[in-house]
Amino acid sequence: MPELKQTRGRLVILGSVSGWIATPGSSPYAMSKFAVRALAEALGHELAPAGVAVTLVSPGFVDSEIRRVDNEGRLRPELREPVPAWLIMPTDRAARLIVRAVRRRRREAVITGHGRAAVLLQRLTPWLVAWGIRRFGVRSRAEARRPGDHG
């Protein structure tokens, strides 16, 4: 922190749209991302007097292997991508948007259009988001299982 304060630097914290919207099957992940969002908010207030900018980056679906990694950190290449391709942002575009947000010292950058729309709906009409999740059976991905696991 001393170096950040001395240089009036930028601190980037990686969150997720799941830090705004929790879906069934995502409680551990969503809980951690809600906590990350709170950390970014608190540090933003704490570091502002020193001229340090804190940017929370909250991506939606970005092209990565994360949706095929189990809770023990193992890549499960045999699993198919559970998210429709039209919802997935290429990593190079996401990286450009993140760099732009950090350069502009933004407080938060929600990456992907669907992510921004979801966060906006959650902020303005949380009751509508809850209704949609329940009505349409929105769920997080099922946990990737190891061979031989049952349940």
Contact 75, 69 (CB under 8 A): yes
Contacts 24+ apart (CB under 8 A), 127-130: 129/21
Residue 64 token pair: 């990565």
Residue 80 token pair: 């198919």
β-partners of residue 57 are: 14, 109
Where in the sequence numbering do the catalytic residues fall? 29
